[in-house]
Every structure is written in C-alpha cells, then in structure tokens.
Structure 1
Amino acid sequence: MAGRAAVPEVIWARPERTGRGPRPAYRRADIAAAAVRLADAHGVDAVSMRRVAAELGCGTMSLYNYVPRKEDLYELMVDEVSGEYELPEPTGDWRGDMLATARQTRAIMHRHPWLHRVMTTLYATGPNALRYLEACLGYLEPLDAPPGTKMECVGMVNGTVMIFVVNEFAMADRARAVPWTAEQETAVRGAYLGSQLATGRYPRLAALYATAPEAPEDPDVLFERAVSRVLDGFG
C-alpha cells in the first residue's frame, strides 16, 4: 500500500526525528500527551494527525516527521498512560502485589475510557510497558512456575480486568440511554426471570437463584473476586 513501509517498523527504534536539520521542536512524549488529551476529552475517534498537530501548534505534515503512522500514534498513547502505574518494590506476597496492580489497571482504564479500543499485545515494547512487565515479573518471583507461565498470568489478569471494565462501560452507557432507573429495570427483569423459573423448565437455575442474594453485589467486590480467582489458578 502506498505510503507504508515495506517491512515492519517499531516507533521506539526510530530516532526522535529523521533526517538532518534543526533540533526537533517536539518530543514523542509531547505528541503522545496531546493525543491523550484529545482522546480523554472527545474520544479516540477524534484523534487524528490533523487534530494532534493543531493541539501542538504545528503543521500536519510536520507531525509525520515524528510519527509516521496513526498506528504509531496509538502505540505512543498506550505507553503514555502506562506511565501512570505506581510500581513499588515486591512485598513477597505475589497475589497481593498482582491484585494491587490490577486495581491500578482498572483505574487507568476508567480515567481513559478509550484505552481498551486501541490496546494490543503488540504495544508491549514501549518503555512504560516494559517497566510494567518487569515489575509484574518481580511480583511473581515467589510463584513456583516457569517464566512463560508467569507471563501468561500477567496476560490473563489484564484480560480479566479489560473484560470487567468494558462491561462496566456498557452498563453505564445503557443506564444513560434509557429513561428509567437501574432499580426499575432490575425489578422488571427479576419478575420476568421469576416467571420463567416458575415453569420448572430450568431447575438448576431455579436452585441457584433461590440461594443467590437479591441485591447485586458491589462492583468492587466482584472485581476483587474475579481477579483473585484468576490468580488462584496459578498457585
């Protein structure tokens, strides 16, 4: 395709600016921060080379000297917000350390609701991503498992957090879109479900709901339990 490199490139392997000439006016960090500001304010669909250039006060074509592709821009954005992790030294409690890190992931995703749309494992080579992975492997040192299994643990925890947060976003979007309250919808759906269970066609579900709590559990409690069960599967 015209305009694309013939072989894969890594944005981090490129100099801050190609070619000769005066010292670059912008750092990649400046560009990433501008793009993150746009995405936070208007959503990731609003992030374009033109708008990022306008945010920085430079010409659009000038920006391509620093970031050749929009995919590179996304990678810079993901790594920029990955710098928000606080990664203390390991405590020796690998489950506790990983759970605390998962809480941070959830918080970062809520601060940047666009993040799940552009995140990919291909972006695990940026400086902040590498810092995060190195810290997680440090937390997992007490776990008696091969290095590959430890990386699998990190990936599964991240996947669990992402699924949980995306569902939180979907529920919040629905709540904003309808004219009734969550309590009203819960009551209506609960009544319908009760009528279906009363038919006797779903005895296992009926037994389940007969012992399940009526009120939905706190999302924070559900989150902690979900991540903890993933961790329990590794040791």
Structure 2
Amino acid sequence: MPRGRPPAHTRPEVVAAAIAVADADGLDALTMRRLAADLGTGVMSLYTYVRDKEELLDLMVEQVGEFDPAFGGDDLLSLVGWQRALMLRHPWMPAALPNRRLGGPNTLGYLERGLVALKDTGLPGPAKMEILALLTGFVASYVTNELAQARAGITDSEQVAEHVARLMAAVSSGAYPQLARVMSEGTTAPPPTFEAIAARMIAGLLGG
C-alpha cells in the first residue's frame, strides 16, 4: 500500500517555531500564515500537527514550562518566583494562560509542586487548587505591569510617584476622608519587591 510523504517537521519543531514568533513579536503576530512562512511550508500543512491555534497555544505553554531547579524547592515563594522568571522570558504567557487546556507533564509537574507545598496546611483540595490559580493570576498581572513599565521606560518608583500625585490631588477635594487619612500616614516608602508582595499574598491566602 503506498505511503504518503513523511512530515517535514515534528510537532515540537512547529511549537518551537511558534514560541520564537511569540517571543520576538508578541502573541498577536502569531498567525498560522506567519508560522507557515517561517517554517517554509503551507498553511494547511500545519493542521497535520495541531487541530487549531488554541491547541498550538496549549502546546506552547506546556513546552516552555519545564521547571528550573535553580529556583529551589517546592515552597510557594520559589514556585511563584519561577513563574515570574518564565513569564518574563516569554512575555506572551500572561495573555495566553486564561482558559488553556493544560495537562502535559510540565504543567502537571508545577501543579504537583504546588500541592506538595500545601500538603500540610489542612486545607481541602478545592481550596488548594484555588490558591494555586490565584497565585498564577497574581504573577501574570504583576508581570504584565512590569512589561508595560519596561515598554514605557519607567521604573516602579516613578510609577508610584505618579500614582501618589494623582491620589493627593484627589484627596485635596475633601471628598475622600478615609483615603486622605491613609495618605497622611506617609507616601514615601519605596515600592515593595515582588518577593515581599508575593510573601504577603501567600500568608494571606494561608490565613497567616
């Protein structure tokens, strides 16, 4: 029985090419037409590797998600630090993560590490899963802000100073007495680090 022509690429090669496009030019630049052009193949041939772009995004998130042991053990602070570094290396990830159909070994390995960190908390399973989802959302939001600052060429301190100036202008009207009271307690503290915010959030989620 005659056999068809062997595929020109492997699925990991196609996914790696998609990651390269998204890393270089953003998620909006990743179209099946652009990917086919970069691979030197026809658009329709891509559908022999993936069902659609949604599956391609699932595979991209999985493929970049290998855990780096340099980030330490299975404590939650190490895990969110790893997530932040991963998202900074691949700036398209915060936008790609919502509603993903994830279940590969890298994604499940991260989930397992998170559950190990939570195993002695006494929390029920659904609460543990919710905490991990909330932490991922926090990291994605934080990185999105970091990337926006970098594009605008501003620092944390400059952003905070601008925000404080707007708040001070607002409270001078007398319409926000509680906000005015808080602002009067001081606005010159340096912005907290990612680690400090993450540690506070983790403590709050665990009831600490």
Band the TM-score falls in, shorter-chain normalisation: 0.7 to 0.9
One-letter amino acid of the counterpart of residue 44, structure 1: L
Structure 1: give runs of 5+ residues left out of the alignment: 1-19
- Within-5 A mapping of 1:147-166: 147-166=125-144
- Within-5 A mapping of 1:1-235: 21=4, 23-83=6-66, 85-86=67-68, 97-175=75-153, 190-191=164-165, 193-218=167-192, 221-235=193-207
CA deviations on 1:22-51 (whole Å, 9 max, x unpaired) are 554422211111101011111111112222
Shift of residue 225 of structure 1? 2.1
The two structures, once aligned, show a CA RMSD in angstroms of 3.1
Partner of 1:14: none
CA deviations on 1:82-127 (whole Å, 9 max, x unpaired) are 12x2258995xxxx71111101111111111111222124322123
Secondary structure at the counterpart of residue 109 of structure 1: helix
How many residues of Structure 1 are paired with residues of Structure 2 in the alignment? 205
One-letter amino acid of the counterpart of residue 64, structure 1: Y
One-letter amino acid of the counterpart of residue 77, structure 1: M
Shift of residue 216 of structure 1? 4.0
Structure 2: give runs of 5+ residues left out of the alignment: none
CA distance in structure 2 between the aligned counterparts of 1:104 and 1:30, rounded to whole angstroms: 24
Question: What TM-score results when the alignment is normalised by the length of structure 2?
Answer: 0.81
One-letter amino acid of the counterpart of residue 63, structure 1: L
CA distance in structure 1 between the aligned counterparts of 2:99 and 2:186, rounded to whole angstroms: 37
Q: Percent identity?
A: 38
Question: What TM-score results when the alignment is normalised by the length of structure 1?
Answer: 0.73
CA distance in structure 1 between the aligned counterparts of 2:101 and 2:36, rounded to whole angstroms: 23
Deviates more, 1:51-60 or 1:65-74: 51-60
- Measured at CA, do residues 37 and 216 of structure 1 come closer, stay the same or move farther in structure 2, by a change above 3 Å? same
- Measured at CA, do residues 139 and 22 of structure 1 come closer, stay the same or move farther in structure 2, by a change above 3 Å? farther
Tell me if structure 2 keeps the 8 A contact 1:44–1:114. Answer: yes
Secondary structure at the counterpart of residue 100 of structure 2: helix
CA deviations on 1:135-163 (whole Å, 9 max, x unpaired) are 22222222212222211111111111112
Tell me if structure 1 keeps the 8 A contact 2:160–2:191. Answer: no
CA distance in structure 2 between the aligned counterparts of 1:182 and 1:103, rounded to whole angstroms: 18
Tell me if structure 1 keeps the 8 A contact 2:80–2:139. Answer: yes
- Measured at CA, do residues 149 and 89 of structure 1 come closer, stay the same or move farther in structure 2, by a change above 3 Å? farther
One-letter amino acid of the counterpart of residue 184, structure 2: A
